[in-house]
Amino acid sequence: MTLRLKGRVAVITGAARGIGRAVAQAYAAEGALVYPLDRLGDEVATLAGPSLQPRTLDITDAETVNAVFTDIESQAGRIDILVNNAGVIFFKPVEEVSVDEWDHLLSVNLRGTFLCTRAVAPGMKRRLLGSIINVSSNAGVRGGLNESVYCASKFGIEGFSRALAVEFRPYNVAVNTITPGHPVHTAMSETTYDAAARAIWKEPAELTPAFVHLACQDATGLNDRYVRAWDLVQQLARGETP
């Protein structure tokens, strides 16, 4: 490792499993102080270590989000990197979707991203430095069968992020969205991928160089982009500058 994130403080949501967990471990290995957050408290607690300070958090609860982020800033002195990774999915024809199902998915995928971003905004703007990475999807740029609710949430992430990039640019804060860009083996994909996708899926750790690269950015670098993680990993491996 190159310790590219030495001295940085990172917060990652949905960090108990899959991509979020792999990114938390990669950031810690690169020298960051990392706060992995997840509602699955017992699972995220297994990440505990000198550079990993896990917390239990329901990102849909505004009061709790504010309290946890305030406590992190008080303890660490700053938050330099936010990865909004937490998300849920289901597949149903729109007429079969209940109001409760709509509200829950939008609450996790979109409201949670808003609440966590709002919590870090004052500090990042004040320090004139930061990187916000919002995990998106192919479903954020095109429709999918029986994915109307999930697509609504991810299209929302894209619009939210594009507006944030404009808002944060004067404060030197980068805002990007990232999608795996390749089938990835996670707890979610185990329930959604067909046999063809399972045959070629990558492990989450294989995508982490893309997340590390984005964490190093500010508004003068890679910014206001929809990034395909696997493509970026391959570019970096070839020594190309994105």
Q: What's the CATH number where 104 sits? A: 3.40.50.720
Distance CA 55, CA 103 (A): 25
Q: Is residue 180 part of a domain?
A: yes
For the chain, 242 residues long, the average pLDDT of each consecutive 10-residue run is: 93 97 98 98 97 98 98 98 97 98 98 98 98 96 97 98 98 97 74 71 91 98 97 96 86
- Please identify which of the residues 27, 35, 150, 226 carries the catalytic annotation: 150
pLDDT of residue 181: 82
pLDDT of residue 104: 98
CB 13 within 8 A of CB 38: yes
Q: Is residue 188 part of a domain?
A: yes
Note down the domain range covering 225: 9-237
pLDDT of residue 198: 73
pLDDT of residue 189: 64
pLDDT of residue 94: 98
Handedness of CA 224, 228, 229, 230 (dihedral sign): negative
pLDDT of residue 24: 98
> For this structure, is 193 an active site residue?
no
Q: Is residue 166 part of a domain?
A: yes
Q: Is residue 1 part of a domain?
A: no
pLDDT of residue 199: 76
Q: Is residue 3 part of a domain?
A: no
Q: How many domains does the chain contain in total?
A: 1
pLDDT of residue 241: 86
Torsion angle of C-alpha atoms 222, 225, 226, 230, degrees rounded to 10: -10
Q: Is residue 181 part of a domain?
A: yes
pLDDT of residue 1: 64
Q: Is residue 133 part of a domain?
A: yes
